[in-house]
A = this chain, B = another copy of it.
Amino acid sequence: MAKTDIGPPDYKTMLPPVIARNYGKWRYHEIPQPGLLVHTAESGEKLYSVRAGSPRLVSTDHIREICAIAEKYCDGYLRFTSRHNIEFLLSDKDKVTPLLAELESKGYPVGGTGHAISNIVHTQGWVHCHTPATDASGPVKALMDEIYDYFVTMKLPNHVRIALACCLNMCGAVHCSDIAILGIHRTVPKPDNTRVPNVCEIPSTVASCPTGAIRGDMKNKTITVNDEKCMYCGNCYTVCPAMPIADPDNDGISIWVGGKVSNARSAPSFSKLAIPFLPNNPPRWPEVVDAVKNIIEVYASHARKHERVGEWIERVGWERFFTLTGIPFTDKHIDDFDMATETFHSSTLFKWE
């Protein structure tokens, strides 16, 4: 019989000795070059962290390769970051340059620190989930190839956090990203009346709809959807598998901007809609890649140092954001969910463009 409830391994057993010795007694850090963090402890000891990009979806052999590198340079100590990068943890300064050389030779991008674009937090997509409106790993790879340079340098006004979620469930902190890439459906789910009675619980299906578009049809033990009230969130499908929502022609991607999580300077905030819809165009999603690149470049050339995307937009105004990026403003940008009115301009304080 297997042991249960043992919990994860104790992290203390995973800490490199330099960390164990200086735990909680760090004094300051420096970023001498992209991808290299140097933390100095009160004791004067230093920890070198080398950050490398990862596709997140990895093979065991890939992990073994990473282990081998860590064993060679880091006495076998490494960690992953909250954005799924790999961090090699070194106490020996002399090993930093050789490590960087090996990583380069093996094609690991080193960077993601400071005023850079870090790894794109993303989700399962067509690789494993049942509700995606787009793939996750594919668009991420296509985009990162194009904005690679921003990962290995630190030349942006501030860091830019990009995230992708393949459906409105928004696994990951997509909703608070500098730039969020979000898969959306646009087809009203059609209940399959032959299956609903067997596989779905009517009341919970009705309750699952945020806009009250679903009504129970108790007589036929099924449900009906009011097309006009449905905004294709897919939540009913989560609860009731007999309401498929995916549709190759109308599924696609929306782009959101200006969210943040940190409390630095300004409060954490949600990303706001920039582009309501772009088509799914595998394998390289050119429309999506271009749209995101455009936003990054306009930001890079207009924002002031230390301004996050959202802080920049707040300063210059959303009118200006749409003018500068050339993104058309539509009625879809105007909120119509429950707290919509809070987003309406109730003053004459706007800009002409």
Contacts and interface: CB of A to CB of B under 8 A. Distances in A.
Nearest to A264: B349
Contact of A342 (B267, B268, B342): B342
A338 interface: yes
A191 B263 CA distance: 50
Contacts of A263: 347-349
B347 A268 contact: yes
A339 interface: yes
A198 interface: no
A64 B38 CA distance: 85
Contacts of A349: 263, 267
A267 B346 contact: yes
Contacts of A348: 263
Interface string A336-350: 001101100011110
Main secondary structure of the interface of A (DSSP, over half): loop
Interface in A117-135: none
Interface residues of A, number: 11
Contacts of A338: 338-339
Contacts of A346: 267-268
A329 to B, nearest CB: 20
A64 to B, nearest CB: 41
Interface in A314-341: 338-339, 341
Nearest to A345: B267
Contacts of A342: 339, 342
A340 to B, nearest CB: 10
A242 to B, nearest CB: 32
A263 B338 CA distance: 26
Interface string A260-287: 0001000110000000000000000000
Interface centre among A338, A342, A349 (most CB of B within 10 A): A349
A342 B343 CA distance: 11
Nearest to A339: B339
Nearest to A268: B347
A267 B343 CA distance: 13
A344 to B, nearest CB: 11
Contact of A347 (B267, B339, B347): B267
Interface of A: 263, 267-268, 338-339, 341-342, 346-349
Given A267-B347, A267-B349, A339-B341, 11 more contacts: A263-B347, A263-B348, A263-B349, A267-B346, A268-B346, A268-B347, A338-B338, A338-B339, A339-B339, A339-B342, A342-B342
14 contacts: A263-B347, A263-B348, A263-B349, A267-B346, A267-B347, A267-B349, A268-B346, A268-B347, A338-B338, A338-B339, A339-B339, A339-B341, A339-B342, A342-B342
